[in-house]
Amino acid sequence: MARLQTIITNFERKDTPLSDYFNNYFTSTLDVSGNVNDSLIAFFEKIADNRESAVALASAVVYTSQAQGADPMEILTEFANMEKNKLNAYLSMFLNLNRVGTSYLGINNQPVRNNYVQRTILP
């Protein structure tokens, strides 16, 4: 869990220009061994009870861990040793490391409305 906390602690929010919003769209695919891929899929399949969700989560974890310079198996080990009630929060924070601030996963952002504007909006 130390490696994951270090990655999250070192994460700095940066204002990203709109031109960089799709900066990951044309990047090359990342390769991992079949054993690593199968381990990640099996772990997330056990949690999600759904093969398609497990494959999507495994690929997202592989991409994020390699973009952060971490070993996907280290991250998997930390996730496996984590309490189940903390796993969702750590997983969403880990996956948000490579996302633009306007598209974070698992974060409900409710902007504060001006009282004068709010009273003019019909319910």
Give the model's confidence band at 102: pLDDT under 50 very low, under 70 low, under 90 confident, else very high: low
Answer whether residue 16 shows pLDDT above 50. yes
Reported confidence tier of residue 12, pLDDT bands at 50, 70, 90: very low
Question: What is the tens place of the pLDDT at every residue in 46-67?
Answer: 988 899 999 999 988 998 888 8
Higher pLDDT among residues 89 and 108, named by residue: 89
Confidence band, pLDDT 50/70/90 cuts, at residue 29:
low
CB atoms within 10 A of CB 69: 7
Half-sphere exposure of 19 (CA within 13 A, CB side): 0
> Is the distance from CB of 58 to CB of 91 less than 8 angstroms?
no
Q: CA-CA distances (angstroms) from residue 90 to 8, 40, 42, 73, 94?
A: 9, 16, 19, 16, 6
Is 67 in contact with 59 (CB distance < 8 Å)?
Answer: no
Q: Could you tell me the pLDDT band of residue 105, with boundaries at 50, 70 and 90?
A: confident
